[in-house]
Amino acid sequence: MVSLVRGANYAIMAASFCPSLPHHFKPTPIVKFPQSSFSFKVFSSQSSPADETPTRVGFLGLGIMGSPMAQNLIKAGCDVTVWNRTKSKCDPLIDLGAKYKPSPGEVAASCDVTFAMLADPESALIVACGEDGAARGMSPGKGYVDVSTVDGPTSKLINGQIKETGALFLEAPVSGSKKPAEDGQLIFLTAGDKSLYEKVAPYLDIMGKSRFYLGDVGNGAAMKLVVNMIMGSMMTSFAEGLLLGEKVGLDPSVVVEVISQGAISAPMFALKGPSMVQSKYPTAFPLKHQQKDMRLALGLAESVSQSTPMAAAANELYKVAKSHGLSDSDFSAVIEALKVKLKD
């Protein structure tokens, strides 16, 4: 669970990775998000490109989300340079025309703007601020866009380090999983330097269908965690309902169909339901990442003294699912954790 202590631990990590970051540095806790700091403005992918679009684009992290996002940039004709901890994951993009650099710092040094899609706050911090991190290659005029899902304190730490180089920072976590990433249908939840947001808007529009600018750094992270907390809780409730229906003799496939035509219809239920009925969980969003996001969301709630009993209960189910070897399965595999609990 994220807490201010955890944020402080990240500060210590960052200080060791980035010599220019003082060891006594402490992140500003996310205590509240003043409504006045939010700009609830949505832009469609049909918006006009911003002026002064950067020409050389870096992409760090080529996992289940990063790879299709970078591929869409390449296919759109962008000059893309890539890096991944496991070099072999870069090869398909190199075959498409991407360049390769052996470290995040070298990617950042060779590009006008660098995107990063990492698995968790620790990875995001290391890639941005590590010994060969992106900050090493940053300088005035460059930009760093972190599209990872992290907590607010981590995002603020990265922002501070990037700003020390004279470069600009934008957090831009995405709403959407593997298929939307492949189809360029992601939703970007951005916050940070408005000028950088405007410059990279054409790239966001290649990778996504809409984008929100939410003001100060930390707001994008908060929005993503709220969304994923709701999503994770919905999935556990959906799974519970499917199992109850089956227990009382209803055909779970018909339960899915009824739900899809009613007031509680949701794309997630229609997409995941049929495979859940068959106990198949093709990975679009790994369960381990959903549990990580639940943990971060609970930490956010704790920082503002808000009780989240439903999310807390859902988080426990994801933890049970992880303990049964389902970390890399789709998050809909949480239904297997419920099956285990029902047998106890």
Q: How far apart are CA 246 and CA 58, in angstroms?
A: 49
Say if CB 311 and CB 235 are below 8 A apart.
Answer: no
User: Two tokens at 283?
Assistant: 């990975």
Phi, psi for 140 (deg, rounded to 5): -55, 135
Say if CB 232 and CB 293 are below 8 A apart.
Answer: yes
Q: How far apart are CA 111 and CA 137, in angstroms?
A: 9
Say if CB 104 and CB 162 are below 8 A apart.
Answer: no
Q: Is 247 helix (H, G, I), strand (E, B) or coil?
A: helix
Q: How far apart are CA 285 and CA 336, in angstroms?
A: 16
- Closest residue by Cα to residue 235 from 193, 284, 192: 284
- Closest residue by Cα to residue 68 from 183, 163, 148: 183
Active-site annotation, residues: 224
Q: How far apart are CA 292 and CA 334, in angstroms?
A: 14
Q: Is 186 helix (H, G, I), strand (E, B) or coil?
A: strand
Rounded (10°) CA dihedral 162, 167, 170, 173: -50
Residue position matching structure tokens 């991944």: 84
Say if CB 278 and CB 332 are below 8 A apart.
Answer: no
- C-beta atoms surrounding 277 within 10 Å: 17
